[in-house]
Amino acid sequence: MSEDLRGRLEKMRQLYDTGITRPYAFRRDQLRKLKRSLLAHEKDLYKALEADLKKSPEESWVTEIGFLLSEINLCLRNLREWMRPVRVMTNLLNFPSRSYVLHEPLGVVLLIGPWNYPLQLLFTPLVGAIAAGNCIVLKPSEFAPATAAVMEKMIVENFSSDYILTVQGNGAEIVPALMKDFRFNHIFYTGSTSIGKKIYQSAAAQLIPVTLELGGKSPCVVEGDANLKVAARRIAVTKFSNAGQMCVAPDYVLVQKNVKSDLINLLKESIKEFYSGDALHAHSYGKIINEKQFDRLLNYLQQGEIIHGGRHDRSKLFIEPTIVEIPPSKNVAANPLLSEEIFGPVLPIIPFDNFEEAKTIIGRNPDPLAFYLFTSDKKKEQTWVESISFGGGCINNASWHLTNPHLPFGGRGNSGIGNYHGRNSFEVFSHRKAVMKTPTWFDPSLKYPPFKGKLGLFKKIIR
């Protein structure tokens, strides 16, 4: 890390120590600045997201800009309430004390964003970090350079670099250097599990708390009693949004064998309807982020029987929405389609006979980030939800739980640590400071030595 960057980080620490970021009015004003900037740069962001990922303005609004505005608005409406001390009960032993919890800023925090939703997945935690009263270092993904440039412009135009600092460049080099030479008070990372493990290890050496929003193989189960037409539409629209480059997209579909053919036909119909039978030129269909990811995804097309799609063009970073069937006889752990997060427009279909068979397949990749179930049977719904460990999910829907700011979003185990969105974003960047205030007018001698003969009384008080 350069001396210049080290000096800027120290200035951030000094600014935070002044307490200027703590008052409600300051936090509110910074959120309003961010909101105004987001609206002012709306067209710039459309162009950047189209350049990086071929996102349409409509998709960019729903999944990036509008999503972020909803988070800011919710925060502005509720911030004063979130900041208030929370009264809690006090036990008999400490009578007549009063107890409460304060939400204290953590300090200087590092936010590391991914490339697939480069605005939303970096600036949504930024909203929480601002609301909680922190100073913030932002590391956008270098793989979405157009969007990263607009985001940096937004920050530079509106915020002091002593308060919010954007650091660009190769994350594999910059992030380790940042963590080595400066002790952050929290690190928030969204991205791959492999990189998340490295960040976790580096943070542990300095006892830095982390939030890790990772990925995983999110299963989608379609029972025989599901509304198949609705299921097909809701699976297809989220699986192929952003060309499948979404952490909560259905990674694979487990469908009850007796309705497999019907579901596949309905999925094909939905894909044709959504992308006019020509995804390459479709207004609503994106592209793969770069050649490295394209080549990785191309390998998946060889791992099963292609029953729809499969066309591709490396020069345009295009892979058509593709459905691949995996017969039960090939459901082996060695198949990359069943062991690696696909993160692209390739949807494996796996038939199953019964609950135990499907559960066993899911169990090969425990703790998925998301789980989706399509069924009309409440008992099956309860059985599935209670039997599978997952970060969050939907019944008769897919991926849209992400857009509800009142739900905590995050993984567990292999898919992440911690959660955010809405109030949870404020909480993750706050320390819950416990305070007990005791009056001086009541000071019974039983609390003080000598304690001989007081055991019976202590047992009555402390139970």
The CATH number linked to 52 is 3.40.605.10
Our count of domains for the chain comes to 2
User: Do 132 and 41 share a structural domain?
Assistant: yes
User: Do 342 and 206 share a structural domain?
Assistant: no
User: Do 346 and 291 share a structural domain?
Assistant: yes
User: Do 236 and 180 share a structural domain?
Assistant: no
Three-state DSSP class for residue 284: coil
User: Do 157 and 248 share a structural domain?
Assistant: no
User: Do 295 and 166 share a structural domain?
Assistant: no
Task: Please identify which of the residues 247, 320, 341, 394 carries the catalytic annotation.
Answer: 247
**Beta-strand pair 346-352/98-105:** unpaired
Instruction: Identify whether 135 is a catalytic site residue.
Output: no
Residue 125: give the domain boundaries.
3-214+413-435
Instruction: Note whether 218 and 249 are within 8 A (CB).
Output: yes
User: Do 187 and 108 share a structural domain?
Assistant: yes
Task: Please identify which of the residues 213, 223, 341, 427 carries the catalytic annotation.
Answer: 213
Q: How many residues make up the chain in this entry?
A: 463
Buried/exposed 243-263: b ≥16 CB within 10 Å, e otherwise: bbbbbbbbbbbbbbeebbeeb
User: Do 225 and 172 share a structural domain?
Assistant: no
List the pLDDT tens digit at each of the 463 positions of the chain.
688 899 999 999 999 999 999 999 999 999 999 999 999 999 999 999 999 999 999 999 999 999 999 999 999 999 999 999 999 999 988 999 999 999 999 999 999 999 999 999 999 999 999 999 999 999 999 999 999 999 999 999 999 999 999 999 999 999 999 998 899 999 999 999 999 999 999 999 999 999 999 988 999 999 999 999 999 999 999 999 999 999 999 999 999 999 999 999 999 999 999 998 899 999 999 999 999 999 999 999 988 899 999 999 999 999 999 999 987 665 556 788 888 999 999 999 999 999 999 999 999 999 999 999 999 999 999 999 999 999 999 999 999 999 999 999 999 999 999 999 999 999 999 999 999 999 999 998 888 999 999 898 888 888 7
User: Do 285 and 180 share a structural domain?
Assistant: no
The CATH number linked to 333 is 3.40.309.10
Instruction: Identify whether 220 is a catalytic site residue.
Output: no
Instruction: Note whether 8 and 100 are within 8 A (CB).
Output: no
Instruction: Note whether 11 and 66 are within 8 A (CB).
Output: no
